[in-house]
Amino acid sequence: MIPKVVLLESSLVLVALTGALVLSMGAVRVEVQSKTPGGEHIHLIAPAVLLPVGAMLIPSENVRQASRELQSWLPTIHAASEELVRSPDATFVQVDNRHEHLKIAKIGGALVIDVDNEGETVHISVPLRAAAYTCNRLAKEAQAEHEAPARHPI
């Protein structure tokens, strides 16, 4: 009887910790509304923890290729992502004209992109902590690939 109670308690603690991790990273939100008659409306909300998990699933050949292409930019990407997390809310880009409105901003810990044009309205929100973690993880993997000795087939 006691082992079952311990197993149940352990399971509940694991579920609570997993839930806390998922909640701490926030959620990625994508919403697209077509303005054409009968147009589609897409609304997607996914746990931001999927970003770093997805980054781990990138094939190593793709990481090696990215490391070659982005090697000189990796320190900048790392610094920018870390500073963006710590910076106050701000609007980075705003374009308003007759045909379209575009806004890219940091709002409440998320990078928010809003586009409204004649064809559609798009809203994307990505928690910066999850994005920074993912960028840093990819940068470290790319750096490790770059520093690893060349592999030669035997």
* Burial zone of 127 (CB within 10 Å; 0-12 exposed, 13-18 middle, 19+ buried): buried
- Kindly give the residue spans of alpha helices, DSSP state H, lying in 26-127: 50-56, 60-70, 74-86
- Domains of the chain, by residue range, sit at 26-147
Cα four-point dihedral sign 69, 70, 73, 75: negative
Residue-level pLDDT at 71: 72
The answer to whether the beta carbons of residues 111 and 126 sit under 8 Å apart is yes
pLDDT tens digits, one per residue of 48-98:
887 777 777 878 777 777 767 777 777 787 788 788 888 999 999 999 999
| Residue 154 banded pLDDT, cuts 50, 70, 90 | low
Is residue 109 predicted with pLDDT exceeding 80? yes
Give the chain's mean pLDDT. Answer: 80
Instruction: Give yes or no for a contact between 107 and 126, defined as CB atoms under 8 angstroms apart.
Output: no
Question: Mean per-residue pLDDT for 21-30?
Answer: 73
